[in-house]
């Protein structure tokens, strides 16, 4: 589990693709202070296991499944990536619960200034928009953010200057692809209330009729 609070921006040193997936190497410093083989590191919101590491780098082996659902397939040498180590039980959960399992990707539309903040707009695949609610949480490239607006499949988030300096969203260009993890609990609720075995009077139709969905 992760918090969505980025600890460091790393840079891609190599990304070698093959029929087996991709071997990815990232340069960094801060998050390697307590790294071990097999440790979980969230890269742009996707949980990966360390297979090798050195003083200022680490490697992971990316599966084809991960390549299919993330923006890893577009990574190239020199690209910045958001990095976070796994959550420990003695750490404050200042962001939200992020599993590191990317649901889909979204397309960056544009950004506009909102006072001190900057608002970023993204377009989601229609079948994932149902998990996004106004003022709910979402992870964009692994960054824990709050939904500022949602209209059909377009949502926006606001980032303050200090956050922008710590993550790789400030360099986005129109059409760029980001990794998205929607709210974990929303997916569990959907599973429970759409199950054929659910005998409760509180079902999906009940939630819709009463304005919960």
Structure tokens at 56: 């200022």
Question: Residue 192 pLDDT more than 70?
Answer: yes
Task: Give the pLDDT score at 60.
Answer: 98
Domain ranges of the chain: 8-85, 104-183, 184-213
**Distance between CA atoms of residues 137 and 144, nearest Å:** 7
Question: From the CB of residue 202, how many other CB atoms can be counted at a distance below 10 Å?
Answer: 12
- Of the listed ranges 19-23, 131-135, 172-176, 198-202, the least confidently predicted one is 198-202
Percent of the chain with pLDDT over 90: 78
pTM as predicted: 0.87
Contact indicator for 204, 213 with CB cutoff of 8 Å: yes
Cβ 45 vs Cβ 108: under 8 Å: no
Task: Let me know if domain 8-85 sits in CATH 2.40.30.20.
Answer: yes
pLDDT value of residue 212: 65
The pLDDT, as a whole number, for residue 186 is 79
**Residues 132, 130: Cα–Cα separation, whole Å:** 6
Q: Which fold has domain 104-183?
A: Elongation Factor Tu (Ef-tu); domain 3 (2.40.30)
Q: What is the pLDDT of residues 49-95, one digit of tens each?
A: 999 999 999 999 999 999 999 999 999 999 999 999 998 877 777 78
- 170 vs 159: CA distance, rounded Å: 9
Say whether 104-183 and 8-85 share the same fold: yes
Better-scored residue on pLDDT, 83 or 191:
83
């Amino acid at each position: 589990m992760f918090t969505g609070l980025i600890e460091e921006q790393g840079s891609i040193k190599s990304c070698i693709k093959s029929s087996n997936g991709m071997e990815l190497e990232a340069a960094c410093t801060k998050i390697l202070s307590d790294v071990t083989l097999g440790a979980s590191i969230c890269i742009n919101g996707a949980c990966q296991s360390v297979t090798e590491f050195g003083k200022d780098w680490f490697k992971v082996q990316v599966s084809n499944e991960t390549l299919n659902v993330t923006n890893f397939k577009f990574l190239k040498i020199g690209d910045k990536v958001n990095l976070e180590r796994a959550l420990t039980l003695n750490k404050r959960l200042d962001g939200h619960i992020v599993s590191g399992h990317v649901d889909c990707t979204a397309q960056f539309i544009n950004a506009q200034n909102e006072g001190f903040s900057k608002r970023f707009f993204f377009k989601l695949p229609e079948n994932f928009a149902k998990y996004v609610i106004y003022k709910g949480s979402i992870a964009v490239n692994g960054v824990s953010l709050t939904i500022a607006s949602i209209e059909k499949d377009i949502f926006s988030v606001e980032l303050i200057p200090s956050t922008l300096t710590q993550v790789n969203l400030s360099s986005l260009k129109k059409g760029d692809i980001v990794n998205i993890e929607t709210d974990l609990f929303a997916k569990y609720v959907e599973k429970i209330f759409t199950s054929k075995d659910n005998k409760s009077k509180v079902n999906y139709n009940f939630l819709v009729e009463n304005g919960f969905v």
